[in-house]
Amino acid sequence: MAITKNDIIISTSNSTDSFETWIEKSFIPESLKPSLRASSLLIVPSEFIRNIEGPVFPTGTEDLYFYLKEKMPNLNPELCINDEDYREYAFHGILLILGSFVVTAIAAPVFANVISEYVKKKLFESDDKKDTEVRFEMTVTDEKGSSKSIKYSGPAAQFESLLKRQVNALPTSKGKAREKHGPK
């Protein structure tokens, strides 16, 4: 489902991404895989941005990572990269690129609330509040292994309401969040 209005784009589509597809990327060392499998929220890099070969994260990802660790410790947020391989990219202007995430279906509504609060916090700190554009992608995986991708590109002022609408429209899994995301 896609919503478009005055340069706002938000869509939900099937996805082949999952915890396991990210954990098995060639740039993920074996030593990092156990902590990624124990997580319910992965912050994933872009592999190709313009002329930059990845993996790279948007500027501010470290700040967001520590914010999520503080606000959602039970989800054990993790970056899909070794510390020594972490790189950022930046675009100039009034663009808040939140990046890409993989999250369990049961944690998706809570994550949507926390990421919306983060955007509000960033807007409060910004001089260009009304003109800030947000870009965001979230892959939601359920207990059956299917995934949905939610992408948003548009004004920060619309981010929270449109994201929550898309998340609430997802079929949610019942039961507890999986503790491990490896093969069943």
Percent of the chain predicted with pLDDT > 90: 67
User: Rounded mean pLDDT of 42-60?
Assistant: 87
CA 85 to chain centre: 19
C-alpha–C-alpha distance, residues 101 and 71, integer Å: 16
pLDDT value of position 90: 81
Q: What is the side-by-side order of every strand in the sheet holding 78-79?
A: 2-5, 8-15, 147-155, 133-141, 95-104, 41-44, 78-79
Does the predicted TM-score (pTM) go above 0.85?
no
Residue holding tokens 């991708």? 149
Residue 15: pLDDT above 90? yes
Residue 96: pLDDT above 60? yes
Residue 26: pLDDT above 70? yes
Residue 46: pLDDT above 50? yes
- Three-state DSSP class for residue 2: strand
More confident residue, 12 or 125: 12
